[in-house]
Amino acid sequence: MDDFLPERQASGKPGTKASVRHAKFTFLLAVVLCAALIAVGCGPGSAPMVDSEDDTAVPEAAAAEPEEADTASREPATEEASAEDAEPAESTEVAEAEPEPVSDPEPDEAVVEDPPDWTTHVFVDGGYYVLGNPEAEVSILDAGDFL
């Protein structure tokens, strides 16, 4: 045992410097490796970030879809709502428009009113059956016999 220990000590003493060098080398190697790992992207922080990005991207997309779906579903809802909002407006417009056509024909009727067919209009004046316009500028009396 003692031999062994001195050997170890003996070997240790002259090996202390070596062990220090070995430790430094090992440390440097570890630093380099760690730096290399970090550079490669396998660092402790990078891997989760990528994963988190992937994970986030999917949920975002998934979340976006529902959002889009919501949006899409809202859009019709909004359209429906706007349509519903518009319907009363349209109905109001229709209600406003309805009187217009009703009111338009009235003046049209008044303006476009066809003149009477004076050739079939007969009125009685002084015992005569008068054919034509009572307000005519000219009145012709035909004094005649049928025979």
For another protein, the binding residues (CB under 8 A) are 115-125, 127-147
Which residue's CB is nearer to another protein, number 2 or number 125? 125
Dihedral pair phi/psi, residue 134, rounded to 5°: -60, -25
Tell me the residue type at 67. Answer: E
Which residue's CB is nearer to another protein, number 94 or number 122? 122
The distance of closest approach from Cβ of residue 141 to another protein in the complex, given in angstroms and rounded to an integer, is 4
The residues, any chain, with a CB within 8 Å of residue 90's CB and separated by 6 or more, are none
Note whether 46 and 38 are within 8 A (CB): yes
Which residue's CB is nearer to another protein, number 2 or number 113? 113
The distance of closest approach from Cβ of residue 114 to another protein in the complex, given in angstroms and rounded to an integer, is 12
Region for residue 43 given its phi and psi (left: phi exceeds 0; alpha: psi -120 to 50; beta: otherwise): beta
The distance of closest approach from Cβ of residue 111 to another protein in the complex, given in angstroms and rounded to an integer, is 17
